[in-house]
Amino acid sequence: MGSGASAPRPQATCGQRPTMSNEERTFIAIKPDGVQRGLVGDIIKRFEQKGFKLVGMKFIQAPESLLREHYADLKERPFFPGLVSYMASGPVVAMVWEGLNAVKTGRVMLGETNPADSKPGTIRGDFCIQVGRNIIHGSDSVDSANTEISLWFKPDELCCYTSCANEWIY
């Protein structure tokens, strides 16, 4: 390496993850209204600026079968058919973010399910007005995150790497 270039850093493997006791992955989906309103970049930017690492992302027109499975815990609720229909009405951006306390912190960043109860500075507080168009979904627990990630992504669709910013964040 006489040219002054340093050796490439070894990449983390999925088997080495997580490296910190509270490091975890969360599932975040930008719903059809967020996509249609052109908010994808603004939302991704917030997670990047926070210091989370994007390890999976896909732009998908979700089939109703996937959406019924994703929202299975709500199937007895009267709004369930409308929710599935709305989520199937346009493309969504499905993502997996990784970092320290990613699930809890991600939920705080999203704001309350009802945007009227969300504080300014949260995604829903800044971009939403009505609960039926709250632009984003985020896992509410580590267990639901693991379930949702496995529904939307195959293991080989998730990237395992060490970000060069890692040592500046942690």
Phi/psi for 93 (5° steps) reads -110, 110
Alpha helix stretches (DSSP H) within 8-63? 32-36, 40-50
Among the listed residues 137, 139, 149, 152, the single catalytic one is 137
Q: Which residues pair with 120 in a beta bridge?
A: 122
User: Has 124 been labeled as part of a binding site?
Assistant: yes
> Has 68 been labeled as part of a binding site?
no
Distance separating alpha carbons of residues 94 and 160, to the nearest angstrom: 17
**Residue 163 burial (C-beta neighbours within 10 Å; 0-12, 13-18, 19+):** middle
Is 113 one of the annotated binding-site residues?
Answer: yes
| Residue 9 labeled ligand binder | no
Q: Are 105 and 99 a contacting pair, CB within 8 Å?
A: yes
Pairing of strands 136-138, 53-60: unpaired
Residue 17 is assigned to a ligand binding site: no
* Residue 22 marked ligand-binding: no
Q: Is-catalytic flag, 137?
A: yes
Residues making up the annotated binding site for ATP are 31, 79, 107, 113, 124, 134
Positions marked catalytic? 137
Residues making up the annotated binding site are 31, 79, 107, 113, 124, 134
